[in-house]
């Protein structure tokens, strides 16, 4: 454990050093010019896309909460999610890290049993992780195909991706019935997150908590996840359009793969890795460094806005009363 803690303390200096190196490779004057071509309507569209993505992700979690009989409405759950996202952003690995806070709020401030809260959040993160890796794997496979063979293998790639995605509802439904594994993992999470001792977490509790989860619910969650991914792709396409870049399928997938791989590395906020990934992708596509600086500036502006919203939600949620939202799920 001490070695791991020391490694975590090194992450920020490593991230900042990598960021400093990337900055030396970019024309800083282009950072200011990146916002010049953005009109008010485009900025509003950009903000709307990010709002829709957040609403869809929260909708999937809320669906799992309903399946697990978690008594919370949609809008309080949105606040909990955004607050957790802010914590995840500043911890090593920007995709995860805020889950203990989210579980704490659900169990202590929302008066939700630990078994139900852990299972609902576990299903949500499991779906997110599976789909993210399935899409990323499909993108990487597509990039390995020769340019002339891309169209010919596209149908095969779509079939493989579809099989990976649509196997998810069945696997998730089977997982909720696996009593021993869920009980073992759930008890460890309850202990690690220091959830209320009064909320027991026997193995049978995880199975009964997920009794409302079935194939139709999992399929609806998959549709919400794919809609969220469509929003992510649309946002990236919009940003590249704002920079006036000639985008084809291969170049778009190169940038997408670089961005997704960057945030998988254990650096807070993907600082340094995201910038390096964008620079590499633009050099691979033969695009100018000024455009890379522009995309980095726009991406980080979005991150700062999301971080500000998350901390506002953190402040808003911490001011609530414990148990104040219990039993209100049916009122939404």
Average the pLDDT over each of 96-110, 190-204, 218-232, 235-249 and give the range with the smallest value.
Answer: 190-204
Contacts of 52 (CB under 8 A, 6+ apart): 231
Average the pLDDT over each of 27-41, 158-172, 199-213 and give the range with the smallest value.
Answer: 199-213
> What's the pLDDT score for residue 1?
43
* Domain map (residue ranges) of the chain: 47-73+80-331
What number is the average pLDDT over the span 16-40? Answer: 68
With a cut of 80, say whether residue 49 has pLDDT above it.
Answer: yes
- Residue 36 CA to residue 86 CA, distance in Å, equals 28
Q: Tell me the whole-structure pTM to 2 decimals.
A: 0.80
Would you state the structure tokens that stand for residue 150, as one six-digit string? 């891309």
- Residue 36 CA to residue 46 CA, distance in Å, equals 15
What are the φ/ψ torsions at residue 212 (nearest 5 degrees)? -85, 0
> What's the pLDDT score for residue 275?
85
- Residue 158 CA to residue 101 CA, distance in Å, equals 37
Average the pLDDT over each of 71-80, 153-162, 293-302 and give the range with the smallest value.
Answer: 153-162
With a cut of 50, say whether residue 24 has pLDDT above it.
Answer: yes
> What's the pLDDT score for residue 209?
57
Tell me the percentage of the chain whose pLDDT exceeds 70: 62
Q: How confident is the model at residue 197 (pLDDT cuts 50, 70, 90)?
A: very low
With a cut of 60, say whether residue 269 has pLDDT above it.
Answer: yes
- The average confidence (pLDDT) of the chain is 75
Closest by CA position to 61, among listed 73, 50, 48, 52:
73
* Cβ-defined contacts of 120-123 (< 8 Å, 24+): 120/61, 120/64, 120/65, 120/67, 120/68, 120/70, 121/61, 121/64, 122/185, 122/186, 122/189, 123/64, 123/67, 123/68, 123/172, 123/176, 123/210, 123/213, 123/221
Q: What is the pLDDT of residues 100-119, one digit of tens each?
A: 888 888 887 666 777 788 88
């Amino acid at each position: 454990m001490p070695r791991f803690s020391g490694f975590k303390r090194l992450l920020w200096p490593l991230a900042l050093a990598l960021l400093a190196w990337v900055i030396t490779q970019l024309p800083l004057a282009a950072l200011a010019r990146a916002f010049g071509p953005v009109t008010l309507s485009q900025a509003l569209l950009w903000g709307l896309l990010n709002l829709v993505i957040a609403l869809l992700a929260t909708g999937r979690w809320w669906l799992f909460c309903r399946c697990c009989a978690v008594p919370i409405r949609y809008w309080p759950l949105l606040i909990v999610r955004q607050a957790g996202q802010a914590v995840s952003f500043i911890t090593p690995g920007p995709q995860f890290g805020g889950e203990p806070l989210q579980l704490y709020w659900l169990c202590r401030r929302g008066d939700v049993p630990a078994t139900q809260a852990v299972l609902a959040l576990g299903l949500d993160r499991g779906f997110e992780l599976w789909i993210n890796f399935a899409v990323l794997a499909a993108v990487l496979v597509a990039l390995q195909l020769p340019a002339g063979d891309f169209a010919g293998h596209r149908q095969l790639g779509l079939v493989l991706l579809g099989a990976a995605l649509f196997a998810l509802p069945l696997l998730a439904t089977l997982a909720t019935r696996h009593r021993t594994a869920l009980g073992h993992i759930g008890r460890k999470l309850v202990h690690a997150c220091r959830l209320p001792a009064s909320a027991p977490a026997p193995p049978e509790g995880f199975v009964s908590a997920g009794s409302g989860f079935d194939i139709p619910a999992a399929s609806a969650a998959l549709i919400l996840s794919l809609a969220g991914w469509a929003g992510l792709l649309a946002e990236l396409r919009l940003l590249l359009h704002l920079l006036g870049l000639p985008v084809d399928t291969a170049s778009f997938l190169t940038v997408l793969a670089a961005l997704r791989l960057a945030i998988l590395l254990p650096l807070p906020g993907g600082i340094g890795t995201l910038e390096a990934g964008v620079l590499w992708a633009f050099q691979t596509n033969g695009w100018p460094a000024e455009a890379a600086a522009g995309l980095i500036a726009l991406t980080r502006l979005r991150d700062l806005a999301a971080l500000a919203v998350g901390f506002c939600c953190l402040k808003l949620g911490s001011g609530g009363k414990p148990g104040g939202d219990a039993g209100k799920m049916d009122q939404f």
